[in-house]
Amino acid sequence: MSVKQISTNMLRGWIDGLLLQKTVIGPVQHQGHFRFESITSSDQLALDYDVTDLPPKKFLLPPREVMMTFRSSGEFQSVMEFHPFVLFGVHPYDMIAINQMDRVFSEKLVDIHYLTRRNACSIVALDPVAVAPHNFSGCMGTATVEKGWDLLLTPLPQDGYLLEIGTEKGNTLLHSIYELPDASLDQLQLREQRWNQNQKSMRRHELKCAPDDLPDLLEQNYDHPLWQEKSSQCLSCGACNIVCPTCYCFDIQDEVDWSLETGVRCRAWDGCLLRDFAEVAGGHNFRKQSAERYRHRFYRKASYLPKRFGEIACVGCGRCISACIPNISNPVEVYNQLVGE
Amino acid sequence: MDPQIDSPVIGHPSSDIYLPHPALITSMCSLTALDMLFEIHVPSPEVHTPSPGQFVEVSLPGIGEAPISVCSFSNHPHQFQILVRRIGNVTQALHQLQIGKSIGIRGPFGTTFPVDRELRKQNILFIAGGLGLAPLRSAIQYVLHRRWDYGKLIILYGSRTPDEQLFLEDLHDWKSRKDLTYLETVDRGGPNWKGRVGVITTLFSLLNLEDDPWSAIICGPPVMYSFVLRELRQRQIPNELIYVSLERRMKCGVGMCGHCQINGLYVCQDGPVFRYKDLIHLQEAL
Ligand SMILES: Cc1cc2nc3c(=O)[nH]c(=O)nc-3n(C[C@H](O)[C@H](O)[C@H](O)COP(=O)(O)OP(=O)(O)OC[C@H]3O[C@@H](n4cnc5c(N)ncnc54)[C@H](O)[C@@H]3O)c2cc1C
Ligand code: SF4
Ligand code: SF4
Ligand code: FES
């Protein structure tokens, strides 16, 4: 492990250098909102962003991706995308969501489409300085992140950043700059303070229990009236799925070319809140009531996936809270209401 | 971090879990107005012989994929049967194909009826409703291949109408066999129907299950399970000796897409065959 110091100017110069060789994707401001997108100059980066509308998962698991091509005569051929790119400025909660997705797509069986793209990606994580209006990552233990990133940037109070090198891949990204000075002990302490502060401040909603207690809490409340009450306003729009960094459910669709000779099989985002998610041919729907679909999301995040992977699949980014029009999707409100009795 | 993620792997197609293997339709036989029996040949050595209860994802370029149970058992590698009910896009298009056409196959996927394990030496009660006979047939064929290895056998089969009865040849064979009991019923008879009319649970009154221990295997439409399970409970068949095969919407077949979940379980990987005991506390199961 080695931690360096880098001035803001130097950082900007380094990014502009990277841009000569690679695609760099980072947070950019648009009318008060932030979006991860491909940049052409370091000036575009909004490194003091609070949260982006969509999580960076869209670059690893695109909304629509070609998995294979086919000929109508029956041959299928895999399509793998390997275009190296740098994902710049990923906040800890989003990094942890990516770590979780890495496990989903590689632990039991290997999803070569995801992994190829993931391998092409270098991640520069960034400790935030601004707290998004609904962020509760401090309660989820996801306000700081220890692994997954290739480089980790932590802003210093005055000017500049500390830069920790996590992997060889991260080291290679730094090839274009001269030796950076090591971080001083004081600076390392400032970094510690930043982490402590983020863990304390990133709690716009306060969870009344420990995240580890959530699976048991849910276990005891499957038939709680809350599911019905809250979901009675649900629009089944799936926005809470779309914006969530840990949602990865998908549909598979075929598209045929004009020629009718060839086509592509695509994977596209899907959402368990959508009406037809569990519907089968002939019309039977295994989760027909919106209450069943609404409840499923919370169980998947805080019971089903944790039982498989040992981690709560909610990183407290708060995006679902902002995205939900009837304002019913706040996980903390749901969990606290269950705790409260 | 996972080692597979550390080093760049450029995907090799043989490692693509979503890529169908080429397969050939070697025979087609229409069993009812809606159901077609296909014989499939899959040359690829990577596709291993399906075990009773497993399913495959059948792929048609430009149309999509559908999970279909393997409905036969033979030791012949690379060759098996599927029964397809025409009900939507993929199934409709499959019916329109001809012998010799190629299709894609992924799998076989999923858990199996434990005919080669716990069910050996046991008395087995097979209960099939409608299309549910398709997956059960693979287990029945397996058991009849090695009949000496099992105890008493009973097959109960319920269809909606006589015209919807599947696998008539097998039904004839089962009816005529002395080494098993076969009982059938239809929900609604017809002018030429001489057999029993009534839902499948009415067949239970004809059985005497009290004297021996039984295992049961059930597959049918969602509404059937709770009624059949009630009968089994009344006859003291323990939950750990009851196996069910369940259907859910599926896309990937490999535990990734999230569609087939029953609470925390994936039907495509943890099922489709479940021991009833393992489902009893799951509210979404039956
Ligand atoms: C484990 C398992 C075994 C099955 N075995 C058989 C069988 O032996 N014979 C048979 O005829 N049918 C079987 N089915 C049902 C069969 O999969 C559906 O009828 C089929 O997927 C409908 O596809 P479609 O494209 O024609 O219909 P559409 O309505 O066009 O469906 C679109 C897509 O939705 C999904 N879907 C729709 N209905 C189902 C469903 N019932 N189950 C799973 N996914 C669905 C599929 O991905 C399908 O391609 C089985 C289903 C499962 C889960
Ligand atoms: S459930 Fe909501 S708060 Fe939790 S990770 Fe998903 S979008 Fe963020
Ligand atoms: S965003 Fe809100 S309204 Fe839309 S599906 Fe989710 S909970 Fe329902
Ligand atoms: S079918 Fe995709 S997870 Fe089971």
Q: Are residues B97 and B129 in the same domain?
A: no
The pLDDT tens digits of the residues spanning A298-326 come to 999 999 999 999 999 999 999 999 999 99
Atom of ligand 4 nearest to the CA of B250: 1
B57 within domain boundaries = yes
Whether residue B150 sits in one domain with residue B57: no
Specify which residues B243 forms β-bridges with.
B217, B275
Contact B269, B107 (CB under 8 A): no
> Hey, are the CB atoms on A252 and B103 less than 8 Å from each other?
no
Give all strands of the β-sheet with A76-78 in edge-to-edge order.
A76-78, A64-71, A262-269, A250-256
A235 Cβ closer than 6 Å to some ligand 3 atom: yes
Check CB contact under 8 Å for A110 and B8.
Answer: no
Q: What is the ipTM of this complex?
A: 0.93
- What does the pLDDT profile of chain B (286 residues) look like in tens digits? 333 333 434 444 458 999 999 999 999 999 999 999 999 999 988 888 999 999 999 999 999 999 999 999 988 879 999 999 999 999 999 999 999 999 999 999 999 999 999 999 999 999 999 999 999 999 999 999 999 999 999 999 999 999 999 999 999 999 999 999 999 999 999 899 999 999 999 999 999 888 899 999 999 998 999 999 999 999 999 999 999 999 999 999 999 999 999 999 999 999 999 999 999 999 898 8
CATH number at residue B55: 2.40.30.10
Per-residue b/e over A74-91, b at no fewer than 16 CB within 10 Å? bebebbbeeeebbbbbbb
Domain boundary among B62, B77, B109: B109
The alpha carbon dihedral of A233, A306, A267, B79 has a sign of negative
Are residues B205 and B177 part of one domain? Answer: yes
Distance B85 CA to ligand 1 centre (A): 9
Percent of chain A, pLDDT > 90?
93
Residue minimizing CA distance to atom 3 of ligand 4: B255
Token code pair at residue A309: 């992977």
What distance in Å separates the CA atoms of residue A17 and residue A10, rounded to the nearest whole number? 10
Q: How far, in whole angstroms, is CA B26 from its chain's centroid?
A: 21
The pLDDT of residue A1: 60
Tokens of A316: 């407290």
* B253, B149: one domain: yes
State the ligand closest to the CA atom of A316: 2
Say whether both B104 and B130 belong to one domain: no
* B7, B10, B16: best to mutate for the A interface, most A CBs within 10 A: B16
**Nearest CB to A119; choose among B5, B13, B248:** B5
- Least CB–CB distance from B88: residue in A75, A80, A281: A281
Of B17, B19, B249, the CB nearest to A278: B249
Cβ distance A133 to A185 under 8 Å? Answer: no
Give the mean pLDDT of chain B.
93
What stretches of chain B show up as alpha helix (H) in DSSP? 3-6, 89-95, 133-145, 168-176, 224-234, 276-279
Q: Residues B180, B90: one domain?
A: no
CB contact under 8 A, B13 and A78: yes
CA-nearest of B213, B235, B236, B216 to B225 is B216
Q: Is A273 in the pocket of ligand 3 (CB under 6 A)?
A: yes
Mark whether B265 and B131 lie in a shared domain: yes
Distance CA A254, CA A266 (A): 6
| Ligand 1 site, residue B272, Cβ cutoff 6 A | yes
**pLDDT value for B7:** 40
Q: Is the CB of A237 under 6 A from ligand 3?
A: yes
List the end-to-end C-alpha distance of chain B, in Å, as a whole number. Answer: 39
Closest CA to ligand 2's atom 8: A317
pLDDT in tens, A66-125: 999 999 888 999 999 889 999 999 999 999 999 999 999 999 899 999 999 999 999 999
Q: Tell me: do B71 and B37 sit in the same domain.
A: yes
The C-alpha torsion from A142 through A143 and A146 to A152, rounded to 10°, is: 140
Length of chain B: 286
Distance to chain A for B172, nearest Cα, Å: 29
- What pLDDT does residue A234 have? 97
**DSSP per-residue string spanning B214-277:** EEEEEE--TTHHHHHHHHHHHTT--GGGEEEE-----SSSSS-S-TTEETTEETTTT-SEEEHH
Q: Identify the domain containing residue B79 by its residue range.
A: 21-109
Q: Does residue B280 sit in helix, strand or coil?
A: coil
**What pLDDT does residue B5 have?**
38
Sign of the alpha-carbon dihedral angle for B266, B270, B273, B278: negative
The answer to the question of residue B220 being in a domain is yes
Residue B284 lies in a domain: no
> What DSSP letter does each residue of A228-260 carry, written as one string?
HHHHTT-----HHHHT-TT---EEEEEEE-TTS
Distance (Å) from the alpha carbon of B252 to chain A's nearest alpha carbon: 8
Which residue shows structure tokens 């939950």? B239
CA distances, A170 to each of A6, A167, A173, A228, B10 (Å): 15, 5, 5, 48, 20
Q: Determine if ligand 2 sits within 6 Å of the CB of residue A323.
A: no
Give, in order, the Cα–Cα distances in Å from A49 to each of A34, A35, A45, A133, B134.
7, 9, 9, 12, 57
Q: In this structure, what DSSP letter does residue A302 have?
A: I
Last residue of a domain, one of B109, B136, B155: B109
**What is the gyration radius of the CA atoms in chain B, in angstroms?**
19
Residue B10 forms part of a structural domain: no
Nearest to B263 among A71, A256, A304 (CB): A304
The residue whose CB lies within 8 Å of the most ligand 1 atoms, and thus the one to mutate among B28, B51, B72, B91, is B91
Q: Which two tokens stand for residue A314?
A: 């909610």
Contacts of A71 in chain B (CB under 8 A): 61
Strands B265-266 and B261-262: antiparallel
Domain boundaries of chain A, sorted by first residue: 2-201, 211-340
Please compute Rg for chain A using Cα positions: 21
Residues B129, B97: one domain?
no
Is B268 found in the same domain as B136? yes
Q: Is residue B12 part of a domain?
A: no
Note whether B68 and B142 are same-domain residues.
no
User: Contact A304/B264, CB-based, under 8 Å?
Assistant: yes
Res B11: pLDDT: 41
Q: State the total domains in chain B.
A: 2
Is ligand 4 within 6 A of the CB of residue B260? yes
Q: Would you say how long chain A is, in residues?
A: 341
Query: Which of A104, A110, A222 has the CB atom closest to B283's CB atom?
Result: A222
Q: Which of B109, B143, B159 is the last residue of a domain?
A: B109
Give the pTM: 0.94
Which of A203, A320, A330, A335 has most ligand 2 atoms within 8 Å of CB, for mutation? A320
**How high is the pLDDT of residue B3?**
35
